[in-house]
Structure 1
C-alpha cells in the first residue's frame, strides 16, 4: 500500500494508469464525500439553497434584504422552540404539548398579572415556573411510568388546550387575554422579548438574535460537553447508556424542561408583541417544531441530529411560509408543502444515517 501511495522515482506509470487517479485516491475522495453526506444538516442545507434560489427567481419582492430578515423573524418564532424539540428528539422523546404551552405561558402571565394587579415581571417569572413544572411533570411521568412520551405529552396538550380556553373564558368572560400595554413592567418586558432595532434601514427583531444564541448554545452542549454525549447516548440506546452510568432520568427530564423554557420564551414574545392573546392559539405548532427538526436531519428514532440542522429546518419553514405569499400563491398550499418536505426529509435522513453507519464500520 505504501508503494502505491508513494511510488519511487524510478517507477514509471504504465500506459493504463498514466494520468488516472489511483485507487487509494478514489477511496480518499469517496471518504470525504461520504463524510459530507453523513452530516445531519447536509440534506437540509441543500434543500434550503434550492428553495432560496427558487423564490428569488419567481418572487421579486423576496429579493430585498428586508424580506430576508422578515424570513429570519418568521423562522425564529418556530426555530427557538424547535431547538429544544430537536434536542429532545435526539434524546429519543417527543413533546406534543409545546405548541399550546407557548400560548399557556403568555396567558398565564397576562391573566395572573392583570387580575391580581401585580407587576408583569413577577407574572412572567411565575409563568416560567409553571411551564418548567409542566415540563418536569411530562418528563417524570415518561420516566416513571414507561408510557411513550407521545401519549404523555398528548395528554398534556389536551389539558393545556382546555385550560387555556376554560380559564380565560372563566376569568375574562372572553377567549382572549386583556390588553396589558398599560401595566407596570410592560416597557421592560416588551423591549426584551418583542423589541427590534434598525441596521441600514432594515428591521432586526430581538427574537432573531436570541434564536442564534440558543442555536449556538445547543450546538455547544451537544458537541462539546458531557451532557451532549449523554443526550446522544440516551437517544441511541437508553438501556446501554444507563448501564455505563449515564443519568438517563435526569437527562430526559432536563430535556423536557428545556422545551418548556423555550416555549415560555416564545410565549413571552407573542404576548408582548401583540399585547393580547387568543386562548385557542398554538394548536398545530407542535408539528411545525417537529418538522423543523426532522427536515434538519434529526432522526425520529433518536440519537442522531444537531442544532445547525434544526436551525436550517426552521429557516426553510420561514422561507416557504413567506415565499408562497411573496409569489402570490394561495397560502393554503403551505401545509401540503410541509407534508412533502417531511416525507422527503425522513427518506434522506435514513439514507444519511446508513452512510454514517457504514463510515463508522469501515
Structure 2
C-alpha cells in the first residue's frame, strides 16, 4: 500500500514487494529456528511482535500515518479484491486452489513425504537423507508467502492498509488446524482435516452472534471447543497407535 498507494508506483510493484517481504520474513524465521534450535512457536511469536513494531514505525515515517489508502487497477481488483456474484470474495477461490495444491504436494509428492517424515521425527528424517534444513526454510517461506498474500488481498479488497489489521486473527490459524486434527507436536494431520477444522471454527465463531447467546461468551465457547478438539485428537491418536486387529478364530 505504501509503494503503490502512497508513492504511486504500479500495483504490480506493490504486489511483488508484499509477496517478496513475506518470503523474506519466512526465510529469516526458518534460519533462526535452524540455527538457534529454539521452538518455532517462540521464534515466530518474537518476530511477530518485532515486525508489528517495525511496521508501525516505518508506516509513520514513510507515509505519516498508520492507515494508507490504496487504489488498485481493475485487473488487480478482479483477481484479488472483488466479490464474485456480489456475495463471495475472490480470495475464497484462491483458498480452494491452495487446498488442491497443498493436498497434492502432501499426498502425491516426495516433498510431501519429507514434510510428514520431519513432523514425525526430524532426527530420523535427517539420518534418512532428507534435507531437513532446506525443507524447514521452504516451509517457513511458504507460510510467509501465504500470509503476505492474504494481507495483500485484504488491502486491495478494502482499498486501504492499516497496521493493526488482522491482529485479531493471530491465533485463528492455530485453532483451525488443531480442531482439524493436526497435532502441534507434528507428524499427524491432513488437508481435509484442516479444511473441516477451518469451516467448523468459522461456523461456530460467526454462528454465536446469530443465536440468543450473549456475545461476551464467544471467547469461552471457542476456548472450550479448542480444548475439546485437543483432547479428542490425543484420544484418537492413542487409540490408533494401540489398535491391534483381532486374530481370526480358527475353526476347530
Q: Same fold (TM over 0.5)?
A: yes
| Map of 2:23 onto structure 1 | 132
Out of 212, 225, 230, the position equivalent to 1:341 is 225
Which structure 1 residue ranges, 5 or more long, are not aligned?
1-109
| Map of 2:66 onto structure 1 | 175
| Map of 1:120 onto structure 2 | 11
Q: Structure 1 residues 341 and 154 mapped into 2: Cα distance closer, same or farther (>3 Å)? A: same
| Map of 2:36 onto structure 1 | 145
Aligned residues: 246
| Map of 1:319 onto structure 2 | 203
Say which SS state the counterpart of residue 162 (structure 2) adopts. Answer: coil
Say which SS state the counterpart of residue 84 (structure 2) adopts. Answer: strand
Structure with higher Rg: it is: 1
Equivalent-residue separation in structure 1 for 2:90 and 2:166 (angstroms):
21
Equivalent-residue separation in structure 2 for 1:314 and 1:360 (angstroms):
32
Alignment of 1:162-311 (within 5 A): 162-177=53-68, 179-181=69-71, 185-198=72-85, 203-311=87-195
Query: Displacement, 1:283?
Result: 2.1
Query: Displacement, 1:361?
Result: 9.0
Query: Displacement, 1:251?
Result: 1.1
Equivalent-residue separation in structure 2 for 1:284 and 1:171 (angstroms):
25
Say which SS state the counterpart of residue 277 (structure 1) adopts. Answer: strand
Is the 8 Å Cα contact of residues 321 and 331 (structure 1) preserved in structure 2? no
Equivalent-residue separation in structure 1 for 2:245 and 2:30 (angstroms):
34
Query: CA offsets per residue over residues 56-81 of structure 1, 9 Å max, x none?
Result: xxxxxxxxxxxxxxxxxxxxxxxxxx
Q: Structure 1 residues 328 and 277 mapped into 2: Cα distance closer, same or farther (>3 Å)? A: farther
Equivalent-residue separation in structure 1 for 2:168 and 2:5 (angstroms):
28
| Map of 1:358 onto structure 2 | 242
Say which SS state the counterpart of residue 280 (structure 1) adopts. Answer: coil
Query: Displacement, 1:360?
Result: 7.3
Give the TM-score normalised by structure 2.
0.91
